[in-house]
Amino acid sequence: MSISQELYFKSSQLIPGGVNSPVRAWTAVGGGPLFIARGQGSKIYDVDGKEYIDYVLSWGPLILGHAYKQVVEGIKKQLEKGLSYGAPTEQELILAELIREAMPSMEMVRLVNSGTEAIMTALRIARAYTGRKKILKFEGCYHGHSDSLLARAGSGLATLGIPGCPGVPEEVASLTLTIPYNDLNTLKEIINVHGDDIAAAIVEPVAGNMGVVIPEKEFLPELRRLTQDKGILLIFDEVITGFRFTWGGWQNVVGISPDLTCLGKIIGGGLPIGALGGKRDIMSLLAPLGPVYQAGTLSGNPVATCAGLITLQILRERKDIYTSLADFTGTLCREIEQIFTHRGLAIRINHMGSMFTIFFTEEKVRDFASAARSDVKRYAQFFQEMIRQGIYPPPSQFEAWFTSIAHTADDLEKTIAACRRAVDLI
């Protein structure tokens, strides 16, 4: 028995499922999870000493790779000054200024502790601002685990096959309207019928939690137009997409200004953080300025803001990073696709910038329904073969792969070679 197996057995006696976030349990791909001892650059190392090229990257935030030198050095200096104060710091302000510079739609910014918390707060503000109760979301988009948003969500719920979540009262669930991603006809219909009751529409502008699903050309512009016409606030959940494709968010790429934006992942440089921001008149509802309450002892934590600040400064100074990442990821996706095509196996690779998903299906994946028809058993076989060869993909068909600036040409060659051997064995 490996050390990972021993730890998983012990952990399962104490921690529900043996893990502190469901997808880590490898339920969808079989076998017990690896317990990780350390990470460096593009690699992670398990407790048994085996090396893996990492394409999970802590589910996206490590765009610079593991233990990036400048980030680590900055954190060390901050640790000597203290871990937490429960009081304002200058670097909170500097981080907020950087975020606003990158995303001008975020005229005011509130730092919180996670993406879930940012989104939960954004919904509360939207309801207060509009005086309406209902929320519109899209199937397969995961916006954290707050009660209002677990209806037909992606990510862990998709992986585990759970359609909703016990413990969420029907009265709460009934306030969330859910329609297919990329479906403009249904969008127009539901806004015509329920528009006057909808406080906010929330969307992942590039979906990453049913696997990567790209918005079709007219989807987001039409969503912006329809919500604006009906006085519905548009919330972009850029927890994954923020600073992943460009200096800023997907809103910068498509030229759409949402009313509220939620961030996480990269703005913490690998440490827990979240942020929400938007138009000044909307954000002014937040306490202590306004009546909408939100608080957090660790909000704006100096260690997390230090890591995030260094990361964003590097991304601002080196904007060529995004071109390099897109080139690397594009090459990897093309090579993988050729391997499967040569073997006569059907896959679809949805790819945007430094994110991608290999769907084991013949059909185009444009929404949650088409993603859900993928062959999850075949993906599980592929995953296990890649793990055996030292490649660490996401342990779910319905998650994104990520690349970082730490990934090298040698990593690319090893990944392609591993994929070629895996395809021969599945």
Active site residues: 142, 237, 265
Question: In angstroms, rounded to a whole number, what is the distance separating the alpha carbons of residues 378 and 212?
Answer: 18
Question: In angstroms, rounded to a whole number, what is the distance separating the alpha carbons of residues 407 and 42?
Answer: 5
Which of 16, 49, 41 minimizes the C-alpha distance to 390?
Answer: 49
Question: In angstroms, rounded to a whole number, what is the distance separating the alpha carbons of residues 83 and 72?
Answer: 14
Rounded to 5 degrees, φ, ψ at 348 are -130, 130
Half-sphere exposure of 203 (CA within 13 A, CB side): 30
Residue 62 in tokens = 């490590």
Q: Cβ–Cβ contacts within 10 Å for residue 291, how many? A: 9
CB 266 within 8 A of CB 250: no
Q: Are strands 348-352 and 43-46 parallel, antiparallel or unpaired?
A: unpaired
- Residue 85, Cα to own-chain centre: how many angstroms? 28
Phi-psi category of residue 49: left, alpha or beta, with phi > 0 → left and psi -120 to 50 → alpha: left
- Residue 147, Cα to own-chain centre: how many angstroms? 18
